[in-house]
Chain A
């Protein structure tokens, strides 16, 4: 079942254009959105959520167009820009206490459970958390309102290998619960570890969106890791 459909998304900046991006996100799948820094990952995500205004294109979630249904849709999705940098001196308990008021489907039981799973201390403030714990707190807020789709912009950036490993394990767990996870990254090993589908963007254009196997079959060479494939493709593009 498609939970998000992006059609011909275009965003023009004076020095960059996100050009005609189209893709689908399915329930119970992990989609890794890969591309080098400045390729257009964040612009795509922000356009999907209306934080920047697309020049053209259609975005729909759960069969509803985003325009006009923003608040209903946001009740069903979770978005994270990676690390928490808001309200650095407020206790996590206070932030969660305010957040829960906005979500109809907020589940205190899930909140407590994930709090324990993520080993987060509610009495701490974001400024007292490590980078990995900040990402987890953002995820905790998203998961506590039973988000059906998680859109995560560079959630693993800046994390140590252990924290990244924990996070990708969590993505797999959520996928098995039926949640769709869409995360951008430039860390190929995170994609290799958990993604069912890969969406590759270069210079604002989607080069390919396919299953992980399909991606390797179409763009990879025998014996190549995903990182080697990406490096080769980027070098080829630069030399052209």
Chain B
């Protein structure tokens, strides 16, 4: 798996995917739907799948002493690595907002979602959806990327819309807690995000391996 990941990083990935990691900075923008950071981070990953197809990466992988399942797992390893880096960057910036910038007026007077642990949980849900819908959809053919991205894009936008609207609903304002306020709720939301991410990713990998195994290349 180490070699597959090395191959992804060295040959298959699009350089722009790394640039898109900078989308984590959206976490700091006041008055902006910060969950879009997840959308842009996964858009960066989408470009790598596009690049991989243009570079005939699957054809090359077939020459190697690896199984089709290894090819799928290699791609997931790359996706998880970049999602991991993106998440850590977002988490660092979220902690900055939750502590040092807790009382900053630009964030206090923000009508949109703030950066807290609920945000991080929702970010993980976005990554889980990407892994379960887009990546899994790609491995149904090993070629097409448009339809899987559309299928992922719709729930992504719905999720962002829902997350932005939720804290305006009476009784759900605590989802937008500042700093460490309502920390139990924040921790529960983060735990739910972790759980859903793990579940969706696990299902995505399993289904992708099955689908790709059936594809005649």
Contacts and interface: CB of A to CB of B under 8 A. Distances in A.
Interface of A: 46, 49-53, 70-75, 78-81, 85-88, 90, 94-95, 97-99, 101-103, 138, 141
B206 to A, nearest CB: 19
Mostly, the B contact residues are: helix
A174 B7 CA distance: 29
A79 B3 CA distance: 19
A87 B64 contact: no
Nearest to B217: A51
Contacts of B63: 78-80, 99, 138, 141
Nearest to B57: A86
Given A51-B62, A71-B66, A98 B10 contact: yes
Contacts of B3: 98, 101-102
Q: Using C-beta atoms within 8 Å of the partner chain, give the interface range for chain B.
A: 20 to 34
B62 A49 contact: yes
B56 A101 contact: no
B11 A46 contact: no
A90 to B, nearest CB: 6
B48 to A, nearest CB: 14
A115 to B, nearest CB: 18
B143 to A, nearest CB: 14
B11 A94 contact: yes
A95 B66 contact: no
A74 B70 CA distance: 13
26 contacts: A49-B62, A50-B68, A51-B216, A52-B216, A53-B216, A70-B67, A71-B67, A73-B65, A74-B64, A74-B65, A74-B66, A79-B63, A80-B63, A81-B59, A86-B59, A87-B11, A87-B60, A88-B55, A90-B11, A95-B11, A95-B60, A98-B3, A98-B10, A98-B11, A103-B65, A141-B63
